[in-house]
């Protein structure tokens, strides 16, 4: 059965479970290696952490997002874009509390990709120690539909 526009629109306002994420030193070293960067000085973590840490810290796996957005297959989702606003540098060894959810859903049709839902989510990362806002992430995923 096809997913209706109304079913998808009803996800706006959905809150992720929330949780925490700690940037471990060894993970930062591996991430820096993957992106072709030396580890940053003074205990700074690579900002590319904002690609996966917010979802993980908010209690969501990629598979959970596919299920939430009712993806028809593993190939039916495309990352549209990510926007990061960094209020404070990310630090190795720091623990961040994450909260967020689905903030937008729009059904579109493209000549090339066909019918799709454009799902937008936002997650804020707070320093677990002092509660200050560290970063805000907004992600937009394209969920391709067969009809």
pLDDT score of 78 = 84
Range of the domain at 79: 5-144
Closest to 76 (Cα-Cα) out of 137, 117, 120: 117
What would the two tokens of residue 24 be?
Answer: 């471990």
pLDDT score of 112 = 87
Could you tell me the CATH number of the domain that includes residue 88? 3.10.129.10
pLDDT score of 1 = 62
**Residues of the chain falling short of pLDDT 70:** 1, 147
Structurally, how many domains does the chain consist of?
1
User: Terminus-to-terminus CA distance in the chain, angstroms?
Assistant: 10
3-state helix, strand, coil in the chain (%, to 5): 20, 40, 40
Could you tell me the pTM of the whole model?
0.90
Greatest pairwise CA separation for the chain in angstroms = 54
């Amino acid at each position: 059965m096809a997913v209706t526009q109304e079913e998808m629109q009803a996800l706006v306002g959905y809150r992720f479970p929330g949780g925490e994420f700690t940037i471990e030193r060894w993970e930062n070293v591996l991430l820096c290696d993957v992106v072709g960067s030396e580890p940053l000085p003074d205990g700074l973590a690579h900002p590319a952490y904002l690609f996966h840490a917010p979802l993980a810290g908010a209690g969501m796996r990629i598979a959970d997002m596919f299920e939430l957005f009712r993806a028809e297959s593993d190939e039916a989702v495309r990352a549209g874009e990510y926007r990061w606003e960094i209020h404070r540098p990310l630090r190795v060894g720091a623990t961040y509390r994450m909260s967020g959810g689905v903030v937008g859903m729009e059904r579109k049709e493209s000549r090339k990709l066909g019918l799709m839902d454009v799902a937008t989510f936002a997650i804020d990362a707070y320093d677990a120690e002092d509660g200050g806002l560290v970063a805000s992430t907004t992600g937009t995923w394209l969920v391709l539909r067969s009809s």
